[in-house]
Each structure stands twice: as structure tokens, then as C-alpha cells.
Chain A
């Protein structure tokens, strides 16, 4: 087998893994869009906020310490504990639920019935607000995130030795696959399965689907829209936390984490805004597509094509199928 083909296989595998992470972010978008018609641009910043909160709680940082110190002239930054990851994650989930409640009560309750573009703009405003809040609460320096489950079994990092040796035996070349990517794939799969199970087999899940189907009909059979919206934002917050942990562990918790929202947008376009399987398949296509394109064409045009390739691919795709791969058929009436 030629070297190039083997490289291409490795690139494809890595692309699949990256695609899973994109899909994870896109999932949060789809959940909120389906249930409330809000295109939540703040999803990426929510991931950043969740990851920063997690790190902050883990390390026992004092929230708003910089601000307090600047105003009062004091000098304290840490409570002085290091919290266990499980507890910290649980607390972060509580924070995200609180955030969902606040977002619903303070913002979107007042915007019911507005045009979609207004709701979209509100989420961009929310993205700015959350970004400023996250920086103000926990400081804007780059943080390392290390999630350890029990004692010293942490999220694995670096080259996966098993895959390396197996592929070396078959092809005479060891594939470089990051352990973290494998973990992320597994976690994403579990998360998706859990979400599907939740929406199929629980009362709240069914109510959620009913709301997604038709707000008024759902309201008329006694489903509380308010509760469902808070629920959906909480779930989106939880998905954001998972995405934040995975991306944060990979490349540090910093501002650029919020840019994964921009990576998820073409995934959404490709898969359709309203489809969970679409988000997953779209994520995989984009992940593989951009890695393979960068590998095959990138060197010819100067590299760094990953920034735009996904968008152009989605754009070309949409010209032929305007509602995305799995999106609901757009029916327009005068």
C-alpha cells in the first residue's frame, strides 16, 4: 500500500474524531433550536463558560476575585482547596442549570413571539455577556483542565499505543490517534444515546418533543412551555459542559474555545438545524472533509484551509439541498 494512502487513512480517522467533537457542539444548537426556535449562537461561549467554571471550582478560585481586589484593594484569589472532579462537575452542572433559568427568566421570557432574527441577535448579545462574565469571574488567562475520575485515572492524553502498534503491524506505519479523541468519541456516543433514550422514554423527553413539534398544541394539552425551555437550556448547558471538558482538555481553557461555535455552524447547515442524526452525520462529514482537504489540497494553496472549507462545502451542498441533509422539508405558503 502506498504511503499516501496510509497517511490519508490516518487523516480520515483523525477527521472522524474531530467530527465527533463538532457534532457534540452542534447537538446543543439543535436541541435549543428544535424546542424553542432560537438559534443559539451562545452555545460555544456556554462551553467556554462551563469549562472555566469547572476549572475555577476545581482549583478553588474565588469568583470575581480580580474585580473585588480591584475595588477593595484586597489580595485574595483562592479559597485554598482542590476539589474532586466529580463534585466539581456536579457543581458546574448546578451552575449551568442556574444559568438556564436566568437566561429563560431574564431574557427569552420577554422575547416570546419576536422574529427569529431578533432572537438570534439576543443570543449574540448573550454570547458577549457570558464571555465578559466568564472572564470577569475566573480571569482570562489560559487554564489547563485536568479531569480525574478516581485518584489518578485522569482523562488520557497523547498517543494511543495500542492503535499505534496494531497499525504498525498491518501497514508498517503506526497511526497517531490521540487518546483524548477516542475518549471524546466514546463520551459523545454515550451522550447521544442517553439523549435519545431521554427524549423517547421519559415523560419530560416526550414533552420536549411535543414542544418541538408544535408549541400551541403542546401548551393546550397542559405542557408547561416555561419548564420545557428551562429544561432544554439546561440540557444544552450540560452538552456544552461536556464539549467544554473535551475541547478544554485538548487545547486548554481559553477564549478560542468559544470559537467552536463557528465550527459547529457548517455542521448544522449540512445536517439541517432540526435533526439530531443530521448533526452527527454532518459533524463526521465536515470533520473528515476538512482534514482530507487540508491534507490533499492544503499544501498547494498555502494551508490553513480548515477555517473556511467547512463553510464552502456546506454552502455548495445547500445550493442543491436547501434544508440540509436531514432537515425538515421547507414548505412555503403565501
Chain B
């Protein structure tokens, strides 16, 4: 009834090409932003921030990054964990080398460094395709983790081999370090998420995004009609790694505070983010959010039900959780290979005709 184009007259080209052409969508978008910025910071507590909301926001950034590479440009990557580690260590080095500069610039700088590394490891994609490329990106994963483990310069020669974030402030409010309030953590992540999603959304519906999708759908055909594969693939790797680097930097500095590279950025992280993208939906920004939310909330929920509700031993609950996650992924792939985003799309189509579908 409310969800339709009819009656929403566009009188300029700007109106016509806006991100949300349907009025209901626009209002919903602003409503979500208003709730996220205006209400949640006042009611959020430590448990919710650390267990659900902050990891969700950070993984959403990573998922958007990977979705650009895998969903939009069709290059399967299993190196996400390694690139997140680059972001984290770059952020750490920048934070400790330039303590006077704002943390926001450190995070962005970490993203830029990751983008450079990403392009470097993306170069073989010009020759290698498909599964061979997926496995080749594992080289980045293992090599980078090993590098950060073995070269003491990266962790400032600390005895434990860990890196830990010193306290840094934005507008005199601590956002990293042990004295950070839940709402400050939440807000800084939220600002980055909104910025990243906005950039990603606009990139993917513009020239660059179209060239990515052309490469994804068939690279030879795209090359023949004049898409430069070098440029398309390298920009995809750069933008994707930039976002993943930002998420790695936030993951380390804001969320965990101290990390050990093998534990925090191992191959499981790569798979986790890939699952988010697949379950959420390849080639959809909304899907990245949905997938991240699903895979962040599911383990928390399962743990609360099994350990908290039914008093099972923790190890059995952990094994069962593995099974449930694996099983759900398979069920999802069978029931809806295009992910949660496709369900959302179908719902919207239905809404458009509701309540008179004929």
C-alpha cells in the first residue's frame, strides 16, 4: 500500500537516479539512521556492545569489502583474515609512531596501506581465475600472518608478541584502550560503517561498479566491449582491501584492544567473512549487513540457549554450535543460494503489489 513508485513523481535527473527511488525506502533509511545515531547510543550497555553490536558493525565493514571483491567483481578471496591483520598492524604502527594524529586518520591510513597490499596480492588475478585464484589468495593469508608473527618490528618488539592499543581520543572522548565507554566504541564504529556503506553503494552503482560486474559476469566478453580488466580488477582489490583494512584496524583498536595475529586473524576469520557474504547475498550491500548480523548473533544466541538455558557443558555446546553453523550454511545454500538479500528482494516485490496482487 505504501511501498510503491506510483504517485512519487520525479522532476529532475538527480531525483530520478537517487539511491532509494521509492519513498518508503527513503523514509526507512533515514529512520534507521536516526535510531542508530539518536537512540541506541543512549541505551547501549557493555554486554550488548561487546557481544553483539560492535562486532556486527565491524564485520559488516569487512563483509562489504569482501562483497565488492567476490560479489561484485567475481574474484573469490580467502585472504580476508590476512588483510584484516594488515589493517590492524598498520593501525598499531601508525598509532604508536604518530601519537598526536587523530585515530580516525590512523584507521583510514591503515585502510590505505591494506589497499596497497591488496593490490599486490591481487596482481596474480590477471592470470589466475576461479578456484585457482581462491587458493592463491590463501598465500596472502598464510604469508601475512607468518610475517606479523616473525618480524618483531611489526609488534614493536613487545615480549609477548601481542599488539595492544594505547588510549586514543576523538573530541576528548576515549575510543580505544581499557577506559572506553560502550557508546563511544559503538559510535566510532557506526560512523565508519555508514561512511563505508555509503561509498560502497555509490561506487557499485556507478561506472566502476558496472565494470566490476561486467568482469564478474564474463571477463573475456567484458574485455571485448572495452572494459579494462587490469583497471577493474585492481580497483576492486584496492577498494575491497581498503574496507577490509579499516575493519581490521577497528577490530584490533576499538573492539579487542589487544590481539595475537594467529588467533585473531587466522584462516577461520577469512571463512567467517566469506560465509557472511554468501549467507547475506553476493553482490548486495544490504546482504553484507544481513549476513554479518546473522553470523554474529547466531553463536551468541546458541550459547545463551544451550549453556545458559539448558546448562550443557561449554565444550559440548561449542561442538553443537559448529554443527549448527555448518548445517545452517548448507540449508541456506540449498533453500536460497542467493542469500538473505534475495529474500528481502522477494519481499519487496510482494510489498509492491500488496494488498491487491492481481
Contact = CB atoms under 8 A, between A and B. Distances in A.
Interface of A: 39, 66-67, 70, 107, 110-111, 114-118, 120-122, 124-133, 135-136, 140, 262, 265-266, 268-269, 273, 301-305, 307-308, 311-312, 314-315, 318-319, 322-324, 330, 332-334
B326 A125 contact: yes
B10 interface: no
Contacts of A120: 131, 134
Given A136-B319, A318-B132, A334-B224, A311 B139 contact: yes
Contacts of A118: 278, 333, 337
B7 interface: no
B315 interface: yes
Interface stretch (B34-42, B101-109, B122-130, B227-235): B122-130
Given A117-B76, A262-B267, A334-B220, A315 B139 contact: yes
A269 B135 contact: yes
Contacts of B357: none
A322 B135 contact: no
B9 to A, nearest CB: 40
B138 interface: yes
Contacts of B138: 262, 265-266, 311
Contacts of A311: 135-136, 138-139, 142-143
Interface in B227-277: 267, 271, 274-275
B301 interface: no
A307 B142 contact: yes
A17 to B, nearest CB: 22
Nearest to A42: B326
B20 interface: no
Contacts of A269: 132, 135-136
Given A118-B337, A124-B271, A334-B218, 19 more contacts: A67-B316, A121-B329, A124-B329, A126-B326, A127-B326, A128-B329, A129-B322, A132-B321, A136-B320, A140-B315, A266-B138, A268-B135, A301-B150, A303-B150, A311-B136, A319-B128, A322-B127, A334-B220, A334-B221
Contacts of B224: 334
Contacts of B329: 121-122, 124-125, 128
A116 B134 CA distance: 12
B298 to A, nearest CB: 12
A107 B146 contact: no
A122 B132 contact: no
8 smallest CB-CB distances across A and B, nearest first, come from: A128-B326, A132-B322, A129-B326, A132-B323, A125-B329, A311-B139, A308-B142, A302-B150
A135 B131 CA distance: 29
Interface in B308-340: 312-313, 315-316, 319-330, 333-334, 337
Nearest to A333: B220
B151 interface: yes
B326 A39 contact: no
Nearest to A71: B312
A152 B267 CA distance: 41
A110 B322 contact: no
A319 B322 contact: no
Contact of A318 (B128, B221, B278): B128
Contacts, number: 142
A311 B333 CA distance: 29
Interface in B178-224: 218, 220-221, 224
B135 A314 contact: yes
Nearest to A109: B334
A322 B219 CA distance: 16
A262 B141 CA distance: 12
Contact of B319 (A114, A121, A122, A135): A135
A152 B218 CA distance: 60
Contacts of B218: 334
B319 A140 contact: yes
Contact of A273 (B131, B324, B334): B131
Contacts of B142: 307-308, 311
Contacts of B322: 128-129, 131-132, 135
16 contacts: A70-B316, A114-B333, A120-B134, A121-B329, A121-B333, A122-B334, A125-B327, A125-B333, A126-B326, A128-B325, A129-B323, A132-B321, A308-B143, A318-B127, A319-B128, A322-B132
Contact of A39 (B131, B145, B274): B131
B295 to A, nearest CB: 12
A125 B127 contact: no
Contacts of A273: 131-132
Given A126-B330, A266-B135, A315 B278 contact: no
Contacts of B149: 304
A301 B278 CA distance: 37
A121 B278 contact: yes
Interface in B85-144: 124, 127-132, 134-136, 138-139, 142-143
Interface centre among A66, A140, A305, A315 (most CB of B within 10 A): A315
A130 B326 contact: yes
Contacts of B132: 269, 273, 318, 322-324
Nearest to B311: A70
B270 to A, nearest CB: 10
Contacts of A121: 274-275, 278, 329, 333
Contact of A319 (B127, B313, B315, B321): B127
Nearest to B134: A120
B219 to A, nearest CB: 8
B323 A133 contact: yes
A333 B221 CA distance: 9
B151 A302 contact: yes
Contacts of A308: 139, 142-143, 146
Given A124-B329, A129-B326, A302-B150, A314 B139 contact: yes
